[in-house]
Structure 1
Amino acid sequence: MSNFIIGTCGHIDHGKTALIKALNGFEGDTTKEEQERGITIDLSFSNIAQGEQNIAFIDVPGHEKLVKNMIAGAFSFDCVLIVVSALEGIKPQTVEHLEILNLLGVKNAVLVVSKKDLVEDSELEKKLLEIEEFISRYDFDLKFSMGVSIYDEVSVEALKERLFTLDASTKVEENFFRYYVDRVFSAKGAGTIVTGTVLGKPIEVNEKVFICDIQKESKIKNLQVHSVDAQTANISNRTAINLSGVDAKDIKRGFVISKKGYLRGFNSIDISFKALKDKFLHHNRQYSIYIGSRKIDAKVLLFNSEDSLEEGFASIKSEEDIFSIYNEKLIIRDGNFTVAGGVVLNPVSDPMKKSQKLHLLEALQKQDIPKAYSILLYAHKKGLGLISSAQRFALSHEEALHSAKELHESFVDEKELIIYPLATKDTIYANIKNIYTKNQYALLSNASIKLRLKWASSGFIELVLNELVDEEFLVKDGNLFKNANVKEDFKTSLEQVMLKRLEEEGISPTAPYNIYDDLDLDRKMGDEILKSLCSKKQVFRLQHNLFVHTNSLSKLVNDMKDIIKKDGYIDIANFKELYPLSRKYLITYLDYLDNFSEIKKDGNKRVFNTLN
């Protein structure tokens, strides 16, 4: 089914809402306040359908004090229905709406000169030409223009038919679903319902979605597209989503719903901007930022000026996280005045020098993604996650991989989706070689090296390990790597090293994984060595992570029995006087005494069993 969204624009009382009602019978002004005042206060949504075609309407308020509501709807327009009264012509809010839509990048436009019944035909033709000429100053693709009266059914039907001839869909499929909430409410028997426009990718009933602003996952219980239950909601569908497991009071207009793992929020993003004619954006000043259906109060910091600019690059710094993507449009306002429009270039906050950031923004503005990758890679020497390309560059998984592979002097781990500067290989090389040089009995796997170099992917580590094998510095034994210069039996040598370590640590031994790390041992091999020592009864396992040298344990047990002989019992207090160990060790050793038939437990004490 063909879907696109037409939004209205125009001055108050020029007949936008009445025109929508004439087209589809929908009464947009439904609240008591709207009906009493005779104006549209908030957004209203409706549609018309013909065969496989569906046109959604977003009717916006025309009052100057309600521009923020207008912007909340305008971001999702595929086409704008410019409504101008035949009696009044272009008025201030018509102009501001056109400016905002231009800044948001809306191209497709239809002009309707309303209330044509109130002027002569000759005057109507004159008005049409005047308004068309005015609109031509903006960057719109005017599809057609015509005069309409809501009291002239023929003109209304003619408009409807011409709307169905439009091919106005502008939204492109991205590699993940996005959705700005513009309304939220709770319905009896259903629970939390949000409304908005589907962006990025379609969604289906029973899918899991992620509410970014509150970091909460939810399941879609039901979908409605224009008040009709649907299994799937497609791009540009005005859609109501029934969410499970989340309270309506926890969600607000402007919240972003997506899929888990695709969008990260940042309180600083970078943009390019262009101010309206005769207006400027000032450095280090607080503005209202409108992005999607959200309004954010934020500080704007210019890149190339400490005063003001008509156009350029800027950072937006907010106390709230912003969940945005590359090339997303936004509006910047100062009080009740629209100042500029912006394009999100860098939605991910990176620790970069200002000079680096400037080169990055220049590349992104030109949509030179390979160059942007190169700049980011230089700043992210320990790896740049390709999964972030969906947000950073609005690229699919395949496109991101293709761009990454075209880079020179880089390593792409396709499995873990990380790209590294090839020079970073030297860091991994030096780390591994240093381990085996310091400890000739080091015996590590790829996985155990990754525990030490958490930023390095398994694929990158494998590349270096294979190079060290080729250099005959290491020898591969199964999934383990050992020093090529050591010819003796590794396992026997390592058992003796481990046994000596445990003997030296006595009755307060280090946890096994820490010992493995100290001895540069793979964890699986370390477990096998401890198991062998236990089977030989050289080491005793008291708990999951507590292994004690048998000699140390025997001596301790004798000392504990001596305490009972002396005091008539042993408990934590008198045990600690002789052995000031941590409570964990004291309790474990007292519990171990229970294995001896000559000892019995008496409350929290251990005493000799007089029956023996």
Structure 2
Amino acid sequence: MEHLIIGTAGHVDHGKTELVKALTGCDTDRLKEEKQRGMTIELGFAPFHLDGKIFSIVDVPGHEKLIKTMVSGATGMDMALLIIAADEGIMPQTIEHINILSMLDITNIIIVITKIDLINNESLDNTTTKIKSFIKETPLRESPICQVSSKLNIGIDNLKNIILNQSKTINKKRNAELFRMPIDRVFTIKGHGTVVTGTITGGKITKDDHIEILPNKINSKVRGIQVHGSEMNKAYAGQRCAINLTKVEKSSINRGDVIGKPQELSPTLSIDTVIYNLMDNYTIKHNQKVRLHIGTTEVLGKIKLIQQDQIEKNQKAYARIRLEKPVTAVFGDKFIIRSLTPVITIGGGRILSHKSPKLSHLQTKTLDYFTLLEQANPTHIILNLLQTNHQLFTIDKIFKNLYINRQTIYQSLSTLLNQQKILKLKNKYYISNETNTYLKQLIIKSIEEYYQNNKYTISINKETLRTKTFPKWNKDQFDTLLTQYNKNNLLSISKDQIIMNKQQRITQIYQNNQINKLEQLILKTNLQGFNTTNTTQPNINTNQLNHQLKFLQQINKIIKLNQTTYIHKTNYDNLLNHINTLFTQQNKITVQQVRDTLLIGRKQTIILLEYLDQIGITKRQNNQRIQLKTK
């Protein structure tokens, strides 16, 4: 494996730091207090050169009060050295560390018996036998065992060979697209500014990249990158690195924060999980408060068990965990849970979703949801996302919801398209069949309600429908959906207007007595026209007049000459016939000639001619008109 993180684990004072020094030549006890007390308090890091490769060793504390620091160090480990002192054997923190490694899915473990120079061969054999007997009942049953003395350099070369052989079998898959680095240290270097360190758990980072520090969404930029003290332009998943950040104060960053690319990661206060109980004689209960360790952060949370009240030893259960502060979690991330008091490791689990949807009141549906996530079939998970969220999804949007590799998303979508379970719109949006049906019904219902409240209206404005029905959608998403339904003849679109069941709607409105009476009234006015300022005519509903006029205008029964005057289409056609006849007799016509032909007043004649000018049938030249086109 190209970038390998090797961590230490084991009871306090069992020789972890001395072993790291024997392997790498580096003393990872960097704090004065650590030197004085002879124990590791903070995380220590050392480059490890082996067979031409550079690995990283993380030395973590073993004291039970420093377990949360140990968990931080275990984040990102590919291999662990479980260290057991020959003169003491398996101790309480040894067992707790085994449980933690197991819950974090660190399966490549080498058991290192240290301090063999302190006991005789018979005692060493006895200790080794006890360790072998103990691990038979743990996930470490197949782990190799190596005996060493760091002080006398005994067995160190053999351990290096075991590490090298083990490293060749590790094939840990990391999300190459999603950059994440949980922060385990923050400090300031004079002349450089704020520096953070951590293990990159996915993706890559490049000098001058813009980044976001979560959960507080602090924006910054990468000034420089170091991997094992060497300046680098890039750092990759699996590498420990130090990142020098610009324009951000040390005080605004904490251990447990996560660095990501801008707007890619979303902090959450609720996670859906599968959890396991590892403790003898301990029951994890519904609504129990726990300490949750994920990445390099610790947060309090309340466990909401799904369809059961408790979890016994070696049992698992689905749970939604409500957190007291936001964390940055991704599908598949491992975590540890510890009790509030006494503070002991009681179990752990795996993130199934960082976006907790509203759970169904039907227990079977809730169970199906969690089971689907645990099975981790990306095609099934993506289909569920599209079916349960009434939205249009792009590949990027699916990625941000699930953090599944984009190539895997594309392949899953192709499978679902071939199975005709989803639709692809505008060559970038995806929608499930179920959601498509739901949205159709929602649009139909919204338009029908609009028609009921606007009884003389044929169409609804696009923006009116969008804000009424899909207020959170952007214009492109809404237009894409409408275009699809236009193709399917569910509705028709004319500029910014949407019409559903056009002919049926027109017929329905046209049969209204008020509409018929108004049309006949306008017809009888001939070319004098109907003026809206004179609404004293009988049988006219003045409250609905403008809507009725607009309807008749939309179905081409009347013509709107100006803001107040309308004429019937039949009378308008007569007007055009008279105008065309005049132009066959002469090239130019006057207002007086038109007035005398139409037998109406001069004022109304001017209104008619100005309308014809406006629509391009005639054109005024001084006091005369010429004909531009016939219509």
TM-score, normalising length: structure 2: 0.70
The amino acid across from 1:249 in the alignment is: S
CA–CA separation in structure 1 for the residues paired with 2:235 and 2:320? 35
**Is the CA contact (8 Å cut-off) linking 2:491 and 2:498 kept in structure 1?**
no
> 1:208-227, CA deviations, whole angstroms, 9 ceiling, x for partnerless residues?
11112111221111011112
Q: Which of 322, 328, 346 does residue 333 from structure 2 map onto? A: 328
Q: Which residue of 2 aligns with 1:12?
A: 12
**Is the CA contact (8 Å cut-off) linking 1:425 and 1:464 kept in structure 2?**
no
**Is the CA contact (8 Å cut-off) linking 2:44 and 2:59 kept in structure 1?**
yes
CA–CA separation in structure 2 for the residues paired with 1:472 and 1:107? 56
Q: Does 1:304 align with 2:328?
A: no
Q: Which residue of 2 aligns with 1:364?
A: 373
Structure 1 residues 209 and 169: CA distance shift in structure 2, 3 A? farther
Q: Which residue of 2 aligns with 1:314?
A: 319
**Is the CA contact (8 Å cut-off) linking 2:331 and 2:353 kept in structure 1?**
yes
Q: Which residue of 2 aligns with 1:348?
A: 355
Q: Does 1:78 align with 2:78?
A: yes
Greater shift after overlay, 393-402 or 284-293?
A: 393-402
In the TM superposition, residue 47 of structure 1 has moved relative to its aligned partner by 1.4
**Is the CA contact (8 Å cut-off) linking 2:272 and 2:318 kept in structure 1?**
yes
Matches within 5 A, 1:88-487: 88-140=88-140, 142=142, 144-153=144-153, 155-165=155-165, 166-167=167-168, 168=170, 170-278=172-280, 279-306=282-309, 309=312, 310-334=315-339, 335=341, 336-354=343-361, 355=363, 356-383=365-392, 387=396, 389-390=398-399, 392-407=401-416, 408-413=420-425, 417=429, 419-420=431-432, 421-423=435-437, 424-429=439-444, 431=446, 442=459, 450=466, 453-455=470-472, 458=476, 461-462=479-480, 464-465=482-483, 467-468=485-486, 471=489, 474=492
> 1:566-610, CA deviations, whole angstroms, 9 ceiling, x for partnerless residues?
xxxxxxxxxxxxxxxxxxxxxxxxxxxxxxxxxxxxxxxxxxxxx
> 1:297-320, CA deviations, whole angstroms, 9 ceiling, x for partnerless residues?
111121223455543111211221
**Is the CA contact (8 Å cut-off) linking 1:262 and 1:387 kept in structure 2?**
no
Q: Which residue of 1 aligns with 2:543?
A: none
In the TM superposition, residue 375 of structure 1 has moved relative to its aligned partner by 4.2
In the TM superposition, residue 150 of structure 1 has moved relative to its aligned partner by 1.6
3-state secondary structure, aligned to 1:426: helix
The amino acid across from 1:474 in the alignment is: S
Larger radius of gyration: 2
Matches within 5 A, 1:29-48: 29-48=29-48
In the TM superposition, residue 127 of structure 1 has moved relative to its aligned partner by 3.3
Where does the alignment leave 5 or more consecutive residues of structure 1 unmatched? 487-499, 502-518, 521-532, 534-612
**Is the CA contact (8 Å cut-off) linking 1:404 and 1:412 kept in structure 2?**
no
The amino acid across from 1:411 in the alignment is: L
Greater shift after overlay, 356-365 or 193-202?
A: 356-365
In the TM superposition, residue 78 of structure 1 has moved relative to its aligned partner by 0.6
Matches within 5 A, 1:517-556: none
CA–CA separation in structure 1 for the residues paired with 2:67 and 2:325? 22
3-state secondary structure, aligned to 2:39: coil
Q: Which residue of 1 aligns with 2:571?
A: none
CA–CA separation in structure 1 for the residues paired with 2:473 and 2:441? 12
**Is the CA contact (8 Å cut-off) linking 1:43 and 1:58 kept in structure 2?**
yes
Greater shift after overlay, 207-216 or 389-398?
A: 389-398
In the TM superposition, residue 32 of structure 1 has moved relative to its aligned partner by 1.6
Q: Which residue of 1 aligns with 2:607?
A: none
Structure 1 residues 473 and 66: CA distance shift in structure 2, 3 A? closer
User: How many aligned residue pairs are there?
Assistant: 490
**Is the CA contact (8 Å cut-off) linking 2:29 and 2:40 kept in structure 1?**
yes
The amino acid across from 2:359 in the alignment is: M
3-state secondary structure, aligned to 1:131: helix
**Is the CA contact (8 Å cut-off) linking 1:428 and 1:464 kept in structure 2?**
no
The amino acid across from 2:196 in the alignment is: V
3-state secondary structure, aligned to 2:185: strand
> 1:20-74, CA deviations, whole angstroms, 9 ceiling, x for partnerless residues?
1111121122212111111111211111124651211111111111111111111
Q: Which residue of 1 aligns with 2:514?
A: none
Q: Which residue of 2 aligns with 1:578?
A: none
Structure 1 residues 290 and 472: CA distance shift in structure 2, 3 A? closer
3-state secondary structure, aligned to 2:144: strand
In the TM superposition, residue 4 of structure 1 has moved relative to its aligned partner by 0.5
CA–CA separation in structure 1 for the residues paired with 2:181 and 2:141? 26
In the TM superposition, residue 101 of structure 1 has moved relative to its aligned partner by 0.7
CA–CA separation in structure 2 for the residues paired with 1:75 and 1:33? 24
CA–CA separation in structure 2 for the residues paired with 1:444 and 1:111? 71
Q: Percent identity?
A: 29
CA–CA separation in structure 2 for the residues paired with 1:97 and 1:237? 23
In the TM superposition, residue 459 of structure 1 has moved relative to its aligned partner by 5.8
Structure 1 residues 391 and 130: CA distance shift in structure 2, 3 A? farther
3-state secondary structure, aligned to 1:22: helix
> 1:428-477, CA deviations, whole angstroms, 9 ceiling, x for partnerless residues?
355467779967675867x8865663455746744544544664963667
Q: Which residue of 2 aligns with 1:3?
A: 3
**Is the CA contact (8 Å cut-off) linking 1:326 and 1:392 kept in structure 2?**
no
In the TM superposition, residue 399 of structure 1 has moved relative to its aligned partner by 2.1
Structure 1 residues 406 and 435: CA distance shift in structure 2, 3 A? farther
In the TM superposition, residue 161 of structure 1 has moved relative to its aligned partner by 3.9
